[in-house]
């Protein structure tokens, strides 16, 4: 399958990044290169670095983006890795500072659409869910090898699933007879665990929260996120911007709280008349409230319905 991705909040991201033609920019979640294509089109003497864990994304986006460089000047570098390690990855190619960064968190459209990757509950496929297929941990390993309490914790903490304990119990009962190895088998287990009359009233698929939880656990998406945001923010030149798109409340909460801390790091009690902790803001908010998709975008791309965009701008040297 061709690696394609319809970028979410594209115009809002480009406006938020305020791309300079000679700037250095990071797309920490390269995917199909949709956002990166628009950044690259705005560069003349600037540079774009894309990072992704998925080898298929790196290969496809590299072809797409290098085709835009009609003058023969190399302005795009693709790095396979995790944006959590952006500082080290950029340092490895001699980049110490950047003028803007974009993160489009979560799973890409291609990964959802390619059933064989095991991200989707709509297609029966091996229970995989790895963004980086070279890593050892899969969703099947969690479902078949982890304890009932650990599975319940994952479903509760990463999926905010009200039926986490019941689903974990049924998973452990079913796997005694035979391993749960496909997405279809897992959907059947979840379907059996949640009483039909008590399912989500919003009409969402009963497996949605569990699949989200397992994907987050397999790819370790949330635990390193705060530090990754701080690391990338520390790379920004003054005036450089960090744009982050989140797709569920857990991600957005980390982004919101981290941005708030960067913009207002003071730890003094509210009763103090002046700050004595010495911590100074290294960023200012560009968006007071998260930006969401317009009705026009939702009509053409329903997957944008849960997307929220937050933006901050670096205001000085990093001192945290």
Domain holding 89: CATH number? Answer: 3.40.50.150
CA 96 to chain centre: 23
> In this structure, what is the dihedral angle of CA atoms 188, 193, 197, 199, given to the nearest 10 degrees?
-80
167 and 245 belong to one structural domain: no
Q: Would residue 261 count as lying in a domain?
A: yes
85 and 226 belong to one structural domain: yes
Q: Is 173 helix (H, G, I), strand (E, B) or coil?
A: helix
77 and 16 belong to one structural domain: yes
20 and 73 belong to one structural domain: yes
Q: Can you give the pTM of this predicted structure?
A: 0.90
- From 187, 115, 118, 181, select the one nearest 145 (Cα to Cα): 181
230 and 295 belong to one structural domain: yes
Q: Which residues pair with 308 in a beta bridge?
A: 246
Last residue of some domain: 219, 239, 271?
A: 219
The structure tokens listed for 262 are: 């960067």
200 and 277 belong to one structural domain: no
What CATH number should be reported for the domain holding residue 190? 1.10.150.170
81 and 16 belong to one structural domain: yes
Residue 50, phi then psi, degrees to nearest 5: -110, 135
- d(CA 171, CA 208) in angstroms, rounded, equals 16
Q: Would residue 69 count as lying in a domain?
A: yes
Q: Would residue 3 count as lying in a domain?
A: no
Pick out the chain residues at pLDDT < 70: 1-5, 72, 74, 108-115, 199-203, 317-320
- d(CA 116, CA 50) in angstroms, rounded, equals 25
101 and 237 belong to one structural domain: yes
Q: Would residue 302 count as lying in a domain?
A: yes
The structure tokens listed for 246 are: 């989140």
305 and 172 belong to one structural domain: no
pLDDT at 115: 65
Total domain count, the chain: 2
- 284, with CB counted inside 10 A (0-12, 13-18, 19+), is middle
148 and 102 belong to one structural domain: no
pLDDT at 267: 85
Q: Would residue 111 count as lying in a domain?
A: no
Provide CB contacts within 8 A for 195, sequence distance 6+. Answer: none
Provide CB contacts within 8 A for 236, sequence distance 6+. Answer: 97, 98, 99, 100, 101, 242, 283, 314
Q: Would residue 1 count as lying in a domain?
A: no
- Per-chain mean pLDDT for the chain: 91
Residue 64, phi then psi, degrees to nearest 5: -65, -45
**pLDDT tens per residue across span 203-241:** 678 999 999 999 999 999 999 999 999 999 999 999 999
pLDDT at 144: 98
Contact 281, 200 (CB under 8 A): no
99 and 140 belong to one structural domain: no
Rounded to the nearest 5 percent, the helix, strand and coil shares of the chain are 45, 15, 40
pLDDT at 50: 97
Last residue of some domain: 177, 200, 219?
A: 219
Last residue of some domain: 196, 219, 242?
A: 219
90 and 163 belong to one structural domain: no
Q: Would residue 76 count as lying in a domain?
A: yes
CA 79 to chain centre: 17
Q: Would residue 22 count as lying in a domain?
A: yes
pLDDT at 109: 63
pLDDT at 199: 67
Owning domain of residue 235: 10-106+222-314
SS (H, E, C) 110-146: HHHHCHHHCCCCCCCCECCCCCCCCCCCCHHHHHHHC
């Amino acid at each position: 399958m061709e690696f394609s991705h319809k970028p979410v909040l594209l115009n809002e991201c480009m406006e938020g990044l305020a791309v300079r033609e000679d700037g250095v920019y990071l797309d920490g979640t390269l995917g199909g290169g949709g956002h990166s294509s628009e950044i690259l089109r705005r560069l003349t003497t600037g540079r774009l670095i894309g990072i992704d864990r998925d080898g298929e994304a790196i290969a496809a986006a590299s072809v797409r983006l290098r085709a835009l460089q009609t003058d023969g000047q190399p302005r795009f570098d693709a790095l396979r890795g995790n944006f959590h390690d952006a500082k080290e990855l950029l340092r490895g190619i001699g980049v110490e500072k950047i003028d803007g960064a974009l993160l489009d968190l979560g799973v890409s459209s291609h990964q959802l659409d390619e059933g064989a990757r095991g991200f989707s509950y709509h297609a029966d496929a091996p229970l995989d869910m790895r963004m980086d297929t070279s890593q050892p941990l899969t969703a099947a390993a969690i479902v078949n090898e982890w304890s009932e309490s650990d599975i319940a914790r994952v479903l509760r903490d990463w999926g905010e699933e009200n039926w986490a304990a019941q689903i974990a119990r049924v998973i452990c009962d079913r796997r005694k007879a035979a391993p749960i190895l496909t997405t279809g088998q897992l959907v059947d287990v979840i379907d059996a665990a949640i009483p039909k009359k008590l399912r989500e009233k919003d009409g969402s698929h009963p497996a949605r929260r569990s699949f989200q939880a397992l994907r987050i656990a397999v790819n370790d998406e949330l635990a390193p996120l705060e530090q990754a945001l701080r690391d990338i923010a520390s790379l920004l030149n003054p005036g450089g911007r960090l744009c982050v798109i989140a797709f569920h409340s857990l991600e957005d909460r980390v982004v919101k709280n981290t941005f708030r801390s960067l913009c207002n790091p003071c730890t003094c009690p509210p009763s103090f008349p002046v700050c004595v902790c010495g911590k100074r803001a290294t960023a200012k908010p560009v968006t007071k409230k998260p930006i969401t998709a317009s009705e026009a975008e939702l009509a053409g791309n329903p997957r944008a319905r849960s997307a929220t965009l937050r933006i901050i701008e670096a205001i000085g040297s990093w001192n945290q």
